Structure 1
């Protein structure tokens, strides 16, 4: 097996030790690398550059493999392509990509007629009759190393375009408004906004949010187009640092909804869309631990709100209330059913679409207003992902759906509600002769020490044989995990992943507690003072895959990002002997230091997820027992580690993986740090840049499992 440590032409960067003493609840921790936090300090920047140079040197022998993987990703991708058009008003809206260009081009074309609900079949390289280019991301990004679009919306009458651009990676967007007919940018430029701004239904106003010093969206503003932004009206401000704020209009265009939420509590406010300067009206006053979300509908001529809530209903129930008196009588429409986690309701004029989760999979059903019945859509694969999207119209005859699995490329369907017909509009093209039948997916179960059954999704290429076949021997295996915020890792096919599967690597997802795959209880058992379950579940899954013959420790690489990066750091300390390598992307590995400091971005909001170690000694001790940075073990033999971060990340600061790698290196671990110097939490921008970044990571992974020289099976 290749070990590049013997070929490194540069010594590993060794940072100076400068002790910083952290004292809480009678405990003292000596932090040797907290000085890395001075982001603008020349010595810190020089250290990060030295880490990058060392990583480049250590991985130089993989340059050819990186190029091959990049070419494989590029060769499987239809570079000049178009999305499926989505109808809104008098237009079909879509985006397209052009070979050689990093970013998408957002366009529209006129409807053939008012009753036209069949999207036009667009072909790459073929001119679209009447096409208008609304925004070319490549032109907007010119001269910038980073580009991200945070808002994009066209007014109901089709005359104005609202868009927000970030060129730093810090998730602060400058809003602009364009007159589509003339192409002129209006003088209403608003810097420093959060993502997700909206135009009012009448096109007179912009509703947007701004953030506080801790990067928390805390204020909603109303801007009248044509006036100075300095005179914008503050519609709503949330002073409690535990809560995020957002705003958007109902599909019916009847109300502006202002949403206020923490991880465990929410409150929503209504403002009439035809009187946006009115005082926001609370729907249900907030109560600690109660979450709810609303959707507006008109049933029997009456304005009603359908509300999903968890008040005495762990997996949520659906009720209906009068919009004029939402705190009045509640009609239970769908009672709480343990194991059926209701996740969202999208209301339309004649029916609604219900999203829910059962038996570890996403489900969709059409909800009938009159009967309260749910007609679930059926799909043939045992593992799949389905969701709705691209449905801006209030009274459509069809619902736009997205579908895919680990082996089936993402597909777009229109579901005809009246007939139940499912119309395939497009399947993601995968070039190079890809056949879904060449790959297999299955679900297996690992059993934790407390008897909990943990679902595991496994994918492989059939030509290499079943990975548990006794004559095949252990296979190289890539194990992914997350396990926080009730976020589920659902089945999805990845073009980049084919570069692993085609070299014989098995891919698996550990659906550990803390995620949402198995309902709300699954999440509750992996947060706060139960967080260790997330880490031990992942170790249980790794051991199960070894014990059942899928892999062996010297051929097993784990990966996780952000909160999943915390998982990576924790399992590296818990069971380093189980893994040959660990890939940690923007990893939350200095969790206790961050959560102790309310001045840092987003910290106070996170107390509902992790606990408040600043004021609670029990939480402090519990977090200190698992936080990766504090628990790097002297004398342990760590797997090879690659940590990837970004200098401008506002969610998990670069300082966390930088400190972690420095500490790992103290105990002799083979740890690499790669820091993008002009990117944010999501990494580099631009599709080609992203492909090269992923090729870098996958080449490292293949090197760890001894397949750097293995050819990809075509």
Structure 2
């Protein structure tokens, strides 16, 4: 599979664990909302002066900051106290649908079957393998429950088996700031080796000698910028710096090709990429340039036999596939394999001995195209639903006719299939079990297109329970993201059933800024066209109202991270369109953050939002930045979530925004802030614990709809 690094500050977990709260409508006098003190800070640029009264909140070492965050948490807890019974009901529903003693589909690779399983009542996964067959004795590689003992937060990053299959290197984060320590275990003795590499990016790549591994470190701004080589048994202080990325727009990373022949160091920004290669049998050798970076040239590489295959935007906005001999890799040697197509986005490839499998996006949906290398035919795997998610997964072997892929839709639980590319026979290996019973025929999924402000037709995926009347009275949650070219596909969520079964409509607006309709769709929602993202989302809400799915009194909106920016922008633009808004870890202080290069990830974001040191971009950002455009007017009810250790969106952005909203708004709707003091961008760790937050979230949503007894 081609690896192409694209910066994004958002993960799909935010779609599945919405961060919400609720308001208190009890008759007794409610607890007063915290009032943040004001210390005016004047910020000047390009002849503009902005006064930020809450700039002081940036000091995480200041006890006043911590005290204020705790006051906000206490306030949220107090205001929502009347929903505690509902929260317990929701939590039990959500967890009750999850098979607790579950396991993944085994993956066969080089003599072993690898799989992950869960034990009843435990929060974390157990990584296992069996040799030769699934009837063999189980070997536990890593029990994450044991590793997590004594921590309030635990997240496994990467884990990789050595070439001789005797060692496993793994990375773990015990804070939530995505700084991972790498540790190594001897799988023959069970011993954890003394080697410990602190605060890495988390990725691990073994050389073929079974004693050398490569890893990446971050700089002060949390940008992955240095790749090191470590030899087992030697002090980390003696690790060798292999590559340092000096351009602040670029991150660096390392991986090994599926062929196991090459180590690859990649450097990528939002609009450009560069790779260097080295034979994995020679880990102390010198990496050599594959193709040097050029402005606006994006590419990713993988290797098979004596050629490299390159997915690139070279003279191809929607990307095309090229190949080149492994002895001559610069772009003048590239030969076209799959041409550019105006209506089809080439997303990824999987290489097999006799087949090339292409994942491509057409009309917003992923298609999987199977091609024979000998040219004797090609075909698409059929998918019949109007909105779905399909993806190739865990295809580690070259010499096989079996393609493994995943599939789900907004009504069909996630499934894993083994597909015989020669006979076209399909075997269902596993379908997500929804404990307590689930019938997809009880729900309806629709795919619609609606016009935006400029006439562009925008797709939207919608799901609801069968029998719903389109009378404008249905509670509805509209979700959006729309940044970094990240496409939110219409996936299945058993968690979401707690809303659908209470009569909710759930919709995903596939707005500009994503790549749902190709690369041009992304480029039409970034830089000086960013407002198209916001306009598209508002048009989605208008369409749902006009089509009688809902009304402004029943419509809620949700987005996280860059999607939280979307929430802040549409609240300022169209506050009357939404009853309530959920902004999870929201990027809302755009101008101040983008003007401060000391803040993690800022410089690399210039290629997404623009560089505000240029007056044109500064003025455009200033025109939509949620924090800078809060006004004295009525706003919807809002629940904002944050993580004190968040490395993607610093906690002070949502905190400042809430303080300013409370200060200026003219309505009585609640503005609630919940900061997880023990986690980062992704919220709580653990398989079940995170759903306590989800129950809190849904309680807020139901409370705003007047459905707390439901």
Using structure 1 for the length normalisation, give the TM-score. Answer: 0.94
Q: 1:317 aligns with which of 303, 320, 331?
A: 320
Task: Give 1:329 deviation, angstroms.
Answer: 2.7
Q: 1:619 aligns with which of 614, 617, 620?
A: 617
Q: Could you tell me whether the CA contact under 8 Å between 1:638 and 1:670 is conserved in 2?
A: no
Map of 1:240 onto structure 2: 247
Map of 2:122 onto structure 1: 101
Q: Could you tell me whether the CA contact under 8 Å between 1:91 and 1:111 is conserved in 2?
A: yes
How many residues are treated as equivalent by the alignment?
684
How big is each residue's C-alpha offset from its partner over 1:344-364, in whole Å with a ceiling of 9 and x where there is no partner? 122233323211111100111
1: CA distance between counterparts of 2:661 and 2:169? Answer: 47
2: CA distance between counterparts of 1:369 and 1:499? Answer: 47
2: CA distance between counterparts of 1:369 and 1:137? Answer: 42
Q: Could you tell me whether the CA contact under 8 Å between 2:472 and 2:551 is conserved in 1?
A: no
Q: Could you tell me whether the CA contact under 8 Å between 1:255 and 1:271 is conserved in 2?
A: yes
Q: Could you tell me whether the CA contact under 8 Å between 2:125 and 2:144 is conserved in 1?
A: yes
The aligned runs of 1:468-479 (5 Å cut-off) are: 468=470, 472-479=471-478
2: CA distance between counterparts of 1:228 and 1:593? Answer: 41
Alignment partner of 1:351 is 2:355:
yes
How big is each residue's C-alpha offset from its partner over 1:477-511, in whole Å with a ceiling of 9 and x where there is no partner? 00000000000110111111000000000000111
How big is each residue's C-alpha offset from its partner over 1:92-136, in whole Å with a ceiling of 9 and x where there is no partner? 111111111111111111223xxxxxxx4xxxxxxx640011111
The aligned runs of 1:563-602 (5 Å cut-off) are: 563-602=562-601
Alignment partner of 1:395 is 2:399:
yes
2: CA distance between counterparts of 1:678 and 1:349? Answer: 47
Change (3 A) 1:25 1:188: same
How big is each residue's C-alpha offset from its partner over 1:562-581, in whole Å with a ceiling of 9 and x where there is no partner? 00000000000000000000
Q: Could you tell me whether the CA contact under 8 Å between 2:23 and 2:80 is conserved in 1?
A: no
Q: 1:57 aligns with which of 54, 66, 78?
A: 78
1: CA distance between counterparts of 2:399 and 2:161? Answer: 19
Map of 1:189 onto structure 2: 196
Q: Could you tell me whether the CA contact under 8 Å between 1:82 and 1:95 is conserved in 2?
A: yes
1: CA distance between counterparts of 2:670 and 2:455? Answer: 35
Map of 2:19 onto structure 1: none
- Give the gaps of 5 or more residues in structure 2: 1-21
Aligned-partner SS, 2:264: strand
Task: Give 1:373 deviation, angstroms.
Answer: 6.0
The aligned runs of 1:628-643 (5 Å cut-off) are: 628-634=626-632, 636-643=633-640
1: CA distance between counterparts of 2:76 and 2:234? Answer: 51
1: CA distance between counterparts of 2:90 and 2:74? Answer: 22
Bigger mean CA offset, 387-396 vs 228-237: 387-396
Map of 2:703 onto structure 1: 703
Change (3 A) 1:5 1:708: closer
Aligned-residue RMSD, C-alpha? 1.4
Q: Could you tell me whether the CA contact under 8 Å between 2:538 and 2:574 is conserved in 1?
A: yes
Q: Could you tell me whether the CA contact under 8 Å between 2:272 and 2:296 is conserved in 1?
A: yes
The aligned runs of 1:170-569 (5 Å cut-off) are: 170-298=177-305, 303-327=306-330, 328-371=332-375, 374-463=378-467, 465=468, 467-468=469-470, 472-569=471-568
Aligned-partner SS, 1:67: helix
2: CA distance between counterparts of 1:372 and 1:509? Answer: 39
Using structure 2 for the length normalisation, give the TM-score. Answer: 0.95
Task: Give 1:224 deviation, angstroms.
Answer: 1.4
2: CA distance between counterparts of 1:203 and 1:400? Answer: 28
Bigger mean CA offset, 388-397 vs 259-268: 388-397
Does 1 or 2 have the higher relative contact order (CA < 8 Å, sep 6+)? 2
2: CA distance between counterparts of 1:82 and 1:628? Answer: 43
Task: Give 1:23 deviation, angstroms.
Answer: 0.3
How big is each residue's C-alpha offset from its partner over 1:163-197, in whole Å with a ceiling of 9 and x where there is no partner? 01110001111111100111101111111111221
Task: Give 1:332 deviation, angstroms.
Answer: 1.1
Q: Could you tell me whether the CA contact under 8 Å between 1:357 and 1:519 is conserved in 2?
A: yes
Q: Could you tell me whether the CA contact under 8 Å between 1:251 and 1:348 is conserved in 2?
A: no
